[in-house]
Chains A and B, each alone.
Chain A
Amino acid sequence: MSFTRRRFLGTSAMAGAMIAGGDLLGRSRAWAATEMKWTPEDGASLQLLRWKRFVQSEEDAFLKLVAAFTDATGVQVEVLNESLDDVQPKASVAANVGSGPDMFWGLYSLPHLFPEKCMDVSDVCDHIGSKYGGWAPSAETYGKSGDSWIAVPVAYNANLINYRKSAIEEAGFSEMPGDTEGFLELCKALQGIGKPAGMALGHASGDGNAWVHWALWSHGGYLVDENDQVIINSPETEAALNYAKALFDSWIPGTASWNDAFNNKAFLAEEVWLTNNGVSIYAAAKRQAGEDAKMAEIAEDMDHAFWPIGPSSTPAEFHICYPLLGMSYTPYPNAVKAFMQFMMEVENYEPWCEGAVAYLSHPYKAGDDFAFWDADPKLVAAKPAAWRTSTAGHLGSVGERAAAALADFIVLDMLANVCTGRQTPEGAMKLAERQAKRLYRA
């Protein structure tokens, strides 16, 4: 490596900044001087539309990160917030009309809805991946279209079993069962003691899609095969439907109408004692523990678990990925890349991720060493989310067809049809098969 005057000045500046401040701002200025790979265009300013935070401390940490980037590069970044479900429509419209925010930060396979409208960020992802131990396989699947990266898979929201330890003990279980049969027994036992379980079966894009895909995949049922051929109508799917129906019957009434927010409030109100969610219920309980004894009790008594393993004998988990994409119409592609690089650098990423109180999990190997994972044993289940999760489409491609199948709730409606008794498993499978064949037609 040649030691040029520029490099010497840069390194000196970085060292100076570290010594002088040692804070985020100091570090970021030094980063801009030495490590920033893409120099933002003159007069660049960015607009970023993101999903609205679930944990306030995460947003606070993110805004600090943004401010540090602006301070280091002079690029103003305006952050817009939309609820999780509204990011995709806005991004889709922006892609369609070719105008709008420079960056969108949504969920699942958002960039695959309009891959040709996304900036090619292969250079950013290759740089970050090689610097931080490599991406999780699912992150590559979500981030890449063909051989090119079209988005940075920034983080994952682990969707876990949230349960009250006292309730499962009262139901006769010393720990969370690791298999689907045991899990069903637990749900029945919880119903028996008047402390039922419940998961969202309304059109809930996060929690709803997470549990129904677990039910399907854990029994070896899949929407499509490796070649995107529809294979949903199968004995495995039928077994999954019968299993889901048995689960549903043991739950609290009303879950067929639940969206993503219902289970949180029902759990904190002690209406349900087991549900599926990120670790945000725990974070909310902890946050209110100081002024509310009930919340303190819930925070103390609750814990998280991986999803039980079913007849397929492999983890069948479906955690939400949050990809960040730059739009190809942006006049400031270098500023977008600089921001992406800045955000994913460990010294910026770790404090932000810590602010999320484990609500978010890292997508690259270096994240395993983040200190905050050791701080609270109740959060450890969220740590390997990127490595345990399957991707939208599972065996098949993660492209726009998988995204459309998720958005159209094909699997969720199939289960809901059976669970609510509107259709037989055969009828529900046939309907789902027909809809999937339409989406996956050549």
Chain B
Amino acid sequence: MADVTRSEDHAGQKRTAKSAPKEMSAWSQLQTNRNWLGMWFMLPAGLFLILFLAYPLGLGVWLSFTDARLGRAGEFIGLENYAWLIGDFTEGWKFWEIGDPVFWLSVFNTLLYTVVASAIKFGIGLYLALLLNKHMPFKAIIRAVVLIPFIVPTVLSAIAFWWIFDTQFSILTWMLQEVGAIAEDYQVNWLGEPLMARASVIFANIWRGVPFIAITLLAGLQTVPPSLYEASVIDGATRWQMFRYITYPLLTPIIAVVMTFSVLFTFTDFQLIWVLTRGGPVNTTHLMATLSYQRAILGGNLGEGAAISTAMIPFLLAAIMFSWFGLQRRKWQHGEAND
């Protein structure tokens, strides 16, 4: 009897133990369940992302399908803004003729600006990083100095470049005149001619962007174990082989991240162009960001401006995808194959 009772008790206890979670109130579960707790902790960040990232992005995309103007909610007009900007391909295939030539010019300018500036920034940044990774006197001070262009507010540096590239007062022109590279009375038209203006704004962007790449790559370089270099020296590796087979592969993940950020920053650049040229001369330095601002905020055509901004998304997504696949290569470091 006692046994039976014990076993019943045991069974009862077992039942109780098993059913205990079922008896917890939903509120208690929300408070103690690990999955729910995880969600609670993520919620502030999630709300933050939705409020400040997803909502504006969604609103921007929505506006691009409307004829909204400043101060007035627009009506849904479908793809009309895009048809105007990109071109209605039922009318032909020459997009620069059927679309808005200024828009296509801004797309070309943006791609040119991004590709040229990013490539040069990477080259100089990597070179500087390798240089700064060496033992040299006043290393810390030199590293700090390299960061200066990045620290100076963009608008301030843009105003400095505004003077540097001024046709009449340019210090560059003066220097070229002093060293006899150009005639005394020759004024270089830095920002007044399309090709020169593009080169000038790209130069300013490079000057500003190099420190970010150099310092980040320098940080990456310092994670490379010196023992690998020592081993390669013993094996008789040349300096190029050391870079090619040790430094570069181990730096690849950092390069992927830093170049993605650099491409994103360059692609969406606004301040430099706005202060230096406002998109001129004749729209030859207009980037998609500056054209979007001009049309949406200055011109009042929110819908069209939003469409130009939205048209930037595919390019930005491509840059992010590049980063994604670049990051996967991290497994190289651990001797694993790529996904």
What is the distance, in angstroms, from B187's C-beta to the closest C-beta of chain A? 5
Residue with the highest number of chain A CB atoms closer than 10 Å, among B72, B281, B295? B281
Q: Is the interface of B mostly helix, strand, loop or mixed?
A: loop
Which residue of chain A is the closest to B84 with respect to CB atoms? A438
Q: Size class of B's contact patch?
A: 35 or more
Complex CA–CA separation, A258 to B102 (angstroms): 20
In-complex Cβ contact of A114 among B71, B189, B193, B284 (8 A): B71
In-complex Cβ contact of B194 among A85, A252, A422 (8 A): A422
Complex CA–CA separation, A95 to B169 (angstroms): 40
Complex CA–CA separation, A266 to B293 (angstroms): 29
Complex CA–CA separation, A93 to B300 (angstroms): 10
Cβ contacts under 8 Å, B102 to chain A: 413, 431, 435
User: In chain B, residues 81-96, which have Cβ atoms closer than 8 Å to a Cβ of chain A?
Assistant: 84
Complex CA–CA separation, A80 to B292 (angstroms): 26
What is the distance, in angstroms, from B98's C-beta to the closest C-beta of chain A? 10
What is the distance, in angstroms, from B70's C-beta to the closest C-beta of chain A? 4
User: In chain A, residues 80-111, which have Cβ atoms closer than 8 Å to a Cβ of chain B?
Assistant: 85, 88-89, 92-93, 95-96
CB pair A420–B70 under 8 Å, yes or no, is no
In-complex Cβ contact of B190 among A114, A257, A417, A435 (8 A): A257
Q: Size class of A's contact patch?
A: 35 or more
Q: Is A398 an interface residue (CB 8 A)?
A: no
Complex CA–CA separation, A265 to B170 (angstroms): 13
Q: Is A400 an interface residue (CB 8 A)?
A: yes
Cβ contacts under 8 Å, B329 to chain A: none
User: In chain A, residues 245-272, which have Cβ atoms closer than 8 Å to a Cβ of chain B?
Assistant: 252-259, 262, 265-266, 269, 271
Q: Is B118 an interface residue (CB 8 A)?
A: no
CB pair A254–B168 under 8 Å, yes or no, is yes
User: In chain A, residues 387-441, which have Cβ atoms closer than 8 Å to a Cβ of chain B?
Assistant: 400, 403-404, 407-408, 413, 416-417, 420, 422, 431, 434-435, 438-439
- The total of Cβ contacts below 8 Å across the A-B interface reads 120
In-complex Cβ contact of B167 among A93, A254, A422 (8 A): A254
Cβ contacts under 8 Å, A113 to chain B: 69-71, 300
Which residue of chain B is the closest to A404 with respect to CB atoms? B299
Cβ contacts under 8 Å, A203 to chain B: 277-280
User: In chain B, residues 249-297, which have Cβ atoms closer than 8 Å to a Cβ of chain A?
Assistant: 277-284, 293-295, 297
What is the distance, in angstroms, from B109's C-beta to the closest C-beta of chain A? 14
CB pair B192–A253 under 8 Å, yes or no, is yes
In-complex Cβ contact of A116 among B72, B192, B277 (8 A): B72
Q: Is B51 an interface residue (CB 8 A)?
A: no
CB pair B283–A413 under 8 Å, yes or no, is yes
CB pair A253–B298 under 8 Å, yes or no, is no
Q: Is A202 an interface residue (CB 8 A)?
A: yes
